[in-house]
Amino acid sequence: MLSNLTCQSAKPKTKPYKISDGEGLYLEVTPHGTKFWRLKYRLHGKERRISIGAYPSTSVAEARKAKEVIKKDIRDGIDPVSKRLQTAQMQSFISQLDFKSMAMEWHSKQISLWKPTHSTIVKHRLEKYVFPSLGSFPLADIKPLMMLSCLQKIEKTAPDLSRRMKALCGHIFKYAIATGRADNDPTYGLEAAMRKFKRGHYASISVDEFPEFLVCLNNYESKVHRQTFLALKLLLLTFVRTCELVEAEWKEIDFDRAMWVIPAERMKMKLPHVVPLSRQALAMFRELKNMHSNNKLIFPGYYDTRTHMSKNTMLVAIKRMGYSGKMTGHGFRSLALGILKEKLGYSHDIADRQLAHVPKSGIDRAYDRALFLPQRIKMMQNYADYIDKV
């Protein structure tokens, strides 16, 4: 076996020559004095050779360690030359794969799991907030400090969004790791360096402010498109989420049973939701049916009736009523919960179930979403009657 001293003292000759270390490993000395480690091996009955590295950059110990790895591959039937070529090709591919390409590949894998609107939002956020800074960089070149710099630009004006984008980029890197095209996730632990903030709630008026708001809403009736006004009133009467209202289709409404069944795929928690309809709500749905009898959508867009109206339409209307920063579409849910508990005396469990909140208990989650349905039918009518009295 070769020693380090033997390798150092090997002098060049007129022709290349070999110094054996045993088991096929040898040091080849060229006429120019350069020295290369090579391994001779047999695979599938054929004698082959593979280069391990140059001496002294690759020491005697390192050459022997590489020999053992290669021999293990040979015992497993793996050609070390082919393996090295495939590894080099993969490394070349990875070095050319930029973050934008990986992000869009990941995005394409999620589309079937998301609502179209969510898919569009995710793509828009990546294009607006991340791709300009990191999109063209190879994955291996994106370091934690670069990722943090990108996120800190976002958190200057939108701290909550910066954390959402951190999580989003983390998912992309985890996908890259799982598919063998990245070694680490540069978003890991960055929350420690990001600004702390207290997450707020959707703006909503109080129960005591409701009468004044209702006066403003009724006075606004003549100043807004009829469909928008009915949408606001139905949001008040049903207190569903804004997207659940504007994306509704006529097939979900059962006029005979006075029920609106929102399918699981349109619900936030992916569970079907039953909304008992009061007489007042039914009357509004019938009016909308007369307006859009030939459309499957209850609230078609004003300019393109093939798609639903924008949920921002109602937010704009609320702002024009003078409630900018004081009330939102989501705020109707908080308002309804307050009225049901404070003014009408309903228990939190019944009111909360009508808000389609998932119970914390795993046992409760196993029950049908129509739990408390008789009480909720009565509650929704009492709630509509209370609004009329106000």
Q: What's the CATH number where 283 sits? A: 1.10.443.10
In a domain, 204, yes or no: no
| Distance in angstroms (rounded) separating the CA atoms of residues 334 and 156 | 29
Q: Which of 27, 30, 82 is nearest to 56 (CA)?
A: 27
pLDDT at 78: 83
What is the domain count for the chain? 3
Alpha-helical (H) ranges within the chain are 4-9, 60-75, 80-96, 99-110, 116-125, 131-134, 144-155, 159-178, 210-219, 226-238, 242-246, 279-291, 312-318, 331-338, 348-354, 362-365, 373-389
Domain shared by 160 and 287, yes or no:
no
Report the interhelical angle of 226-238 vs 279-291 (nearest 10°). Answer: 150
Domain shared by 219 and 169, yes or no:
no
Tokens of 61: 């110990």
Domain shared by 325 and 177, yes or no:
no
Instruction: Find out whether 118 and 83 touch, Cβ atoms under 8 Å.
Output: no
Domain shared by 315 and 176, yes or no:
no
H-helix or E-strand spanning residue 51: strand 46-55
In a domain, 376, yes or no: yes
Rg (C-alpha) for the chain, rounded Å, is 34
Domain end residue (candidates: 67, 91, 115): 91
In a domain, 46, yes or no: yes
Domain shared by 381 and 237, yes or no:
yes
Whether omega before 56 lies within 30 degrees of 0, making that bond cis, reads: yes
| Distance in angstroms (rounded) separating the CA atoms of residues 115 and 246 | 14
Residues sharing a CB contact under 8 Å with residue 15, sequence separation 6 or more, in sequence order: 31
Domain shared by 254 and 134, yes or no:
no
In a domain, 203, yes or no: no
In a domain, 306, yes or no: yes
In a domain, 201, yes or no: no
Domain shared by 311 and 221, yes or no:
yes
Domain shared by 78 and 164, yes or no:
no
Domain shared by 165 and 114, yes or no:
yes
Full residue range of the structural domain in which residue 163 is found: 99-193
Domain end residue (candidates: 163, 193, 223): 193
Instruction: Find out whether 7 and 59 touch, Cβ atoms under 8 Å.
Output: no
Domain end residue (candidates: 91, 118, 137): 91
Plot region of 239 (φ>0 → left; ψ -120 to 50 → alpha; else → beta):
left
pLDDT averaged per 10 residues, the chain (length 390):
90 93 92 92 84 91 92 85 74 70 93 86 94 92 94 88 93 91 91 74 81 92 93 94 92 95 84 92 95 90 88 89 86 90 89 74 48 89 93
CATH number (domain holding residue 31): 3.30.160.390
In a domain, 200, yes or no: no
pLDDT at 372: 82
Domain shared by 358 and 239, yes or no:
yes
Domain shared by 274 and 383, yes or no:
yes
Burial class of residue 120, CB neighbours in 10 A (0-12, 13-18, 19+): exposed
In a domain, 26, yes or no: yes
CATH number (domain holding residue 107): 1.10.150.130
Catalytic positions: 241, 268, 330, 333, 357, 367
pLDDT at 74: 85
Domain shared by 55 and 111, yes or no:
no
CA atoms within 13 A on the CB side of 260: 26
